[in-house]
Amino acid sequence: MKATAPLPLQVAPGAEQASTLDFRAGLWRLADPKITLASMASVLLGTCFALKDGPLSIGWLAVTVLGIFFIEVAKNASGEIFDFDSGTDLAVGEEDRSPFSGGKRVLVDGLLTRRQSWAIAATAYLLGAACGLAIVVFRRWEVVWLGVAGMALAFFYHAPPFRLSYRGFGEIAVGVTYGPLISIGTYLVQTGSIRPGIILASIPLGLMIVSFLWVCEFPDYLADRKAGKRNLVVRLGRLRASRVFAVLAPVSSLSVLLLPFFGIPWAVALGAVSVIPASTAAVRVLSNPEFTAQLIPAQVLTLIAFLALALGSGGGVLLCR
């Protein structure tokens, strides 16, 4: 399928009327607590493994959480600008709007100006970098490479020249970041080492967050295709992509059942409880891959599956301390 050229740059409604913009509402959208749950779930998994292996530094855990949160906000802010410029956010029809898709729409809905969005992005990236630098200087210098990789993946997920989400690499970037990168980084900050157990346990979590991103790409399918955003759902088409999701989501949940065979405490398999919401989401997507109103419950169920996987796996590890 031939990609359509990106839409021409347009001006956001109300962008010239900065005095009427609701800055606080725009900032709240960029912070997006429901999506921040994903990164915090990864932090939780790393923290549970660290607590199993030794004492926990609450102060450095707080710095870790803050750093990740700031990078999340920064990614959302800079991504809004790049997605607006490509035309994909503007092309999302009202019938395809979802709490989990279509971007944060702070420019489209006139909540923030471009200048404000860039200012929020720059400030949040700097605050995130400051948290990372504090960890590197005063706690664990080894975490520097994970921090640099995390910031690069966050920015270039939308930004040129890599534009990972536009070239079919966004799903991989999200899986790596919200699975191994955050979990391993959290564990490393606490313990000063990286063990095979935390690496293996973070892989199912990475697969599940890919499932969540996957189902969130369905409502944006027409807009993304029109704007030349060639993620994997656009490349496959919604029908084939729904079949992939129907396998990916349940398999992500059940993959934790393999972890005890690699020396990880057996109770980590409690994370497999996530197969219930994951399978329910899979059935819904298979039956309604083209109707956003029917897909929103599947998005909610997949996010619940991701959280249940992290809570079950992490809690299971602590049960075997």
DSSP annotation string for 149-214: HHHHHHHHTTSTTT-GGGTT-HHHHHHHIIIIIHHHHHHHHHHSS--HHHHHHHHHHHHHHHHHHH
Q: Which pLDDT value is given to residue 205?
A: 96
Q: Which pLDDT value is given to residue 35?
A: 72
Q: How many CB atoms lie within 10 A of CB 132?
A: 25
Q: Which pLDDT value is given to residue 5?
A: 44
Query: What is the C-alpha to C-alpha distance for residues 6 and 229, in angstroms, rounded to an integer?
Result: 8
Structure tokens at 68: 């990740």
Helices (H) and strands (E) in the chain, counts: 13, 0
pTM exceeding the 0.85 threshold for the entire prediction = yes
Q: Which pLDDT value is given to residue 34?
A: 77
CATH topology for 18-319 is Farnesyl Diphosphate Synthase (1.10.600)
Spell out the domain ranges in the chain: 18-319
Low-confidence ranges of the chain (pLDDT < 70): 1-21
Q: Which pLDDT value is given to residue 33?
A: 81
